[in-house]
Amino acid sequence: MSKESKFLKDIVKKAHALLTEKFNTESKGGENDLVTTLDLEIERFLINEIKKQYSDFDIVSEEFNTNNKITKNCFIIDPIDGTINFANNLPLWGIQIACVKNGKTIASVISLPRINEFYYADETGAYLNDTKISVNEVPIKNALYSIDGNNNLPSMQRMRKYTSNRRNFGGVCISMSFVASGRIHGAVFRSNKPWDYEPGLFICKMAGASIKSIDGFHAAAMNKEFLDILELETAKKQNISNIFVLHSLNGDTLKMWGQDIKETFGEKEIDVIMPEFPIRENSRYEKFKEILEFYITNGKLNTNSIVVAHSIGNAYFIRFCKEFNYIPKAYIAVAPGAIYEYPSTRNDYTMEVKKQSYLKKDALDYINNISSIKYCLYSDENDNNIEKFTKFLNDTNAKGVYLKYYNHFDGYHRIYKIPELIELINELL
Phi, psi of 332, deg, nearest 5: -115, 120
For position 400, what pLDDT does the model report?
35
267 vs 240: CA distance, rounded Å: 14
Across 62-160, where does the E strand assignment appear? 74-81, 94-101, 104-112, 117-122, 125-128, 131-132, 145-149
State pTM to two decimals.
0.63
Give the Å distances, CA to CA, from 267 to 150, 159, 200, 271, 274: 12, 14, 28, 10, 16
For position 194, what pLDDT does the model report?
93
- Encode 164-194 in three state secondary structure: CCEECCCCHHHHHHHHHCCCCCEEEEECCCH
For position 376, what pLDDT does the model report?
63
For position 253, what pLDDT does the model report?
65
For position 392, what pLDDT does the model report?
45
For position 348, what pLDDT does the model report?
58
- Render 14-45 in DSSP notation, one character per residue: HHGGG--S---EEE-SSTT-EEEHHHHHHHHH
Q: Which residues of 249-287 are buried (b: 16+ CB within 10 A; e: fewer)?
A: bbbbbbebbbbbbbebbbeebbbbebbebeeeeebebee
pLDDT in tens, the chain (429 residues): 889 999 999 999 999 988 865 555 555 544 445 567 788 889 999 999 999 999 999 999 887 776 778 999 999 999 999 888 988 889 999 999 999 999 999 999 999 999 999 999 999 999 999 999 999 999 999 999 999 887 677 788 889 989 989 998 999 999 999 999 999 999 999 888 899 999 999 999 999 999 999 988 999 999 999 999 999 888 877 667 889 988 776 666 666 677 888 888 876 778 888 887 777 767 778 888 888 998 898 888 988 899 988 777 888 888 898 889 888 888 887 766 666 555 555 565 566 666 666 677 787 777 777 766 656 665 444 444 444 444 444 443 333 333 333 333 333 344 455 666 787 888 887
